[in-house]
């Protein structure tokens, strides 16, 4: 019985071993993907400066692990939005 319990503990604690390690995971967000369907997502994973997955918070947390996991607490994220404009008269 002790061997079975020990094996079960090892298997359950080892679930992190099967997840892909990434640099950053953002969860619980309101993400505008700006794809063709203008779909929205809850979470994403970034590795080496690139998005590698976008989906629900559960999907991302079950697939990826990171030392840096940020809970956005429902805040809106618009990846890739660059507002590069200026008002020249305001500069003078």
Answer yes or no: are the C-beta atoms of 22 and 64 closer than 8 Å: yes
Contact 68, 25 (CB under 8 A): yes
CATH of the domain at 26: 2.30.40.10
Q: Give tens-digit pLDDT for 65-90.
A: 999 999 999 999 988 777 777 777 76
Give which of 58, 61, 32, 55 is closest to 43, Cα–Cα.
55
Question: What pTM was estimated for this model as a whole?
Answer: 0.70
Q: How many domains does the chain have?
A: 1
In a domain, residue 48? The reply is: yes
Any domain includes 50: yes
Residue 62 forms part of a structural domain: yes
Q: State which residues form the domain around 38.
A: 19-74
> What is the predicted pLDDT for the residue at 91?
62
Q: Which residue has the tokens 């094996």?
A: 7
DSSP state of 42: S
Q: What is the pLDDT of residues 3-58, one digit of tens each?
A: 777 666 666 555 666 789 999 999 999 998 878 888 899 999 999 999 999 999 99
Cα–Cα distance for residue pair 2/8, rounded to 1 Å:
10
């Amino acid at each position: 019985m002790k061997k079975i319990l020990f094996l079960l503990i090892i298997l359950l604690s080892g679930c992190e071993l099967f997840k892909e390690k990434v640099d950053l995971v953002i969860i619980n967000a309101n993400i505008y993907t700006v794809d063709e369907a203008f779909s929205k997502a809850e979470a994403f994973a970034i590795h080496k400066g690139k998005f590698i997955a976008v989906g629900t918070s559960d999907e991302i947390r079950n697939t990826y692990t990171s030392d840096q996991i940020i809970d956005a607490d429902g805040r809106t994220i618009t990846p890739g939005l660059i507002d590069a404009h200026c008002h020249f008269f305001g500069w003078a």
